[in-house]
């Protein structure tokens, strides 16, 4: 168990399992983007480990860029998504692959897609290491998914809790604690989903 700020987290997904999921996604990308010189766009901050591990496994020509479009503070996704910064590459006619650490409500990905589509990309695919289907509210197809996980708050492998935990090489989940979950997420069935075990 580890402590970040005021909260405790327990081991959830090992380095080995993460590596296998990344291997699988990278193999799919190698198959699908062999001759396309794709533009990989990582969504900062959480994506950095995922992006570097995908790139190490991508065997063909590609470009990489990073953008920022944060929508999160603390442990609950907020509704208002902020502006896109950092995209300097020409998108027109490019095959874009967005690399996300986690898709939760889908607000971030929806905003990002709107902007990329308006810039005339030829195609856009989304690869995310983690995905919370119970919370996802959009119709947008997620093309490559590492793990489908329940609606629990996770940290590690790029993901943070108020700035801490990004450097952890495995993924941890918020320790099941009735009082903590009640405070953070409300009673079971309320709001976005049920947290408590």
- Residues making contact with ligand 5GP (CB under 6 A): 46, 71-72, 77, 101-108, 153-155, 159-161
Cα separation, 91 vs 38, in Å, equals 10
Q: Which of 104, 139, 143, 160 is catalytic?
A: 104
In the list Mg ion, ligand 5GP, none, the entry touching 154 (Cβ below 5 to 8 angstroms by class) is ligand 5GP
Q: Please report, as residue ranges, which positions from 106 to 145 form the binding site for Mg ion (by CB under 5 A).
A: none
Cα separation, 154 vs 173, in Å, equals 4
Under a CB-based contact definition with an 8 Å cutoff, are residues 59 and 161 in contact? no
Under a CB-based contact definition with an 8 Å cutoff, are residues 98 and 46 in contact? no
Number of residues that bind Mg ion (CB under 5 A): 6
Burial of 124 (0-12, 13-18, 19+ CB in 10 A): buried
Give yes or no: 139 in active site.
Answer: no
Nearer to Mg ion, 70 or 182 (CB): 70
Cα separation, 98 vs 84, in Å, equals 13
Query: Is 194 part of any known ligand binding site?
Result: yes
Binder among 38, 42, 46, 146 for Mg ion (CB under 5 A): 46
- The DSSP H or E segment spanning 23 is helix 15-32
Burial 29-66 (b: 16+ CB within 10 A, else e): beeebeebebbbbbbbebbbbbbebbeeebeeebebeb
Shortest approach of ligand 5GP to residue 117 CB, angstroms? 17
Q: Does 104 bind Mg ion (CB under 5 A)?
A: no
Query: Is 146 part of any known ligand binding site?
Result: no
Nearer to ligand 5GP, 24 or 82 (CB): 82
Torsion angles phi and psi, residue 3, rounded to 5: -120, 130
Nearer to Mg ion, 37 or 169 (CB): 169
Binder among 66, 72, 136, 147 for Mg ion (CB under 5 A): 72
Binder among 32, 36, 89, 160 for Mg ion (CB under 5 A): 160
Query: Is 190 part of any known ligand binding site?
Result: yes
Which residues contribute to the annotated binding site?
A: 189-194
Q: Which residues does the annotation mark as catalytic?
A: 104
Which residues contribute to the annotated binding site for ATP?
A: 189-194
């Amino acid at each position: 168990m580890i402590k970040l700020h005021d909260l405790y987290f327990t081991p959830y997904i090992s380095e080995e399992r993460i590596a296998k999921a990344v291997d699988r996604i990278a193999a799919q990308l190698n198959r699908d983007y062999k001759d396309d010189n794709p533009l990989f766009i990582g969504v900062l901050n959480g994506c950095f480990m995922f992006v570097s591990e995908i790139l190490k496994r991508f065997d063909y020509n590609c470009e990489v860029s990073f953008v920022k479009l944060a929508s999160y503070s603390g442990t609950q996704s907020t509704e208002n998504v902020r502006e896109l910064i950092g995209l300097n590459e020409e998108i027109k006619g490019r095959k874009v692959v967005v690399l996300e650490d986690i898709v939760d409500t889908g607000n971030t990905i929806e905003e990002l897609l709107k902007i990329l589509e308006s810039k005339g990309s030829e195609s856009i695919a989304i690869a995310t290491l983690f995905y919370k289907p119970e919370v996802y509210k959009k119709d947008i197809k997620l093309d490559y998914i590492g793990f489908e996980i329940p609606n629990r708050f996770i940290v590690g492998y790029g993901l943070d809790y108020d700035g801490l935990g990004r450097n952890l090489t495995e993924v941890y989940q918020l320790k099941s604690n009735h009082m903590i979950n009640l405070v953070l997420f409300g009673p079971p069935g309320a709001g976005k989903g049920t947290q408590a075990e």
